Structure formats: structure tokens, C-alpha cells
Amino acid sequence: MEDQFNSNSIGKILYNYYATVLKVCEPNLYALMIDLGFSTHKRINIKLFGLGYLPENNKKIIDFANNFLKNTEYKIMYFSLDPDSNGYMQGVIKSHDGIFNLNKLLVDNGLMFVK
């Protein structure tokens, strides 16, 4: 399970970005401002890779994610994967230093599950 969220083991990684989370839109949908380099930024919405959730956990997930992001000062590393069937980019969100992985923490705390 841990390997699924390790950016080097997925095999479909497109790019790694430094980003700022602008908003937790839904438990599995995040608005990001990604840093493309050379003073260029782009706002995108992403879904967390490979995770599902029960609707009754919505508030708990959003509160957990906001707490995680507050502790990282909303600065993260985002690992981009192929878009899903609805066209959303999928990804793995880690703390800016790469130590803490939001995807894994949500699963480990029983708030989300691996699809």
C-alpha cells in the first residue's frame, strides 16, 4: 500500500511541482497554484490519486486536509499523474519537504480508502 503513494513507484509520474493549495474544494478535489518555474504559475484542480471516500466522512476529511495544509503553510509538493476519466489531473500531495504524504495519511487514519 505504501508503494502506491511513493512518487517513484507509481510509474506514471509526469512531473513534480512545488505548489500552494488555494482551497480544499471537496474531500478529493483540491485547487492548486503550481510553480512552473521562471516566475510562471498556473491554477489547476486535482484529485487525489487512487482514493475514494464515504460521503459521511466529508467534513472529517476536509478538516483533516485543512489541518495538514495549515501545518505545511499551504506549501506542498504535487506529483502529477495522468488525468482521470473526467479530465481532472490526479496526484499525490506531500509536504513541501517531502516527508508527509496527505494521500497516505488519509488512508492510514481511516478517512479514505484505496480504490
Averaged pLDDT for residues 77-82: 80
Ordered structural domains, the chain, with CATH: 2-114 (2.40.50.90)
pLDDT at 94 over 90: no
Measured CA to CA, the distance from residue 28 to residue 9 in angstroms comes to 21
Q: What is the pLDDT of residues 10-43, one digit of tens each?
A: 456 567 888 999 999 999 999 999 998 999 999 9
How do the residues of the chain divide into helix, strand and coil, expressed in percent and rounded to 5? 25, 45, 35
pTM: 0.83
Nearest to 111, CA basis, from 72, 46, 66: 66
Average pLDDT score, the chain: 85
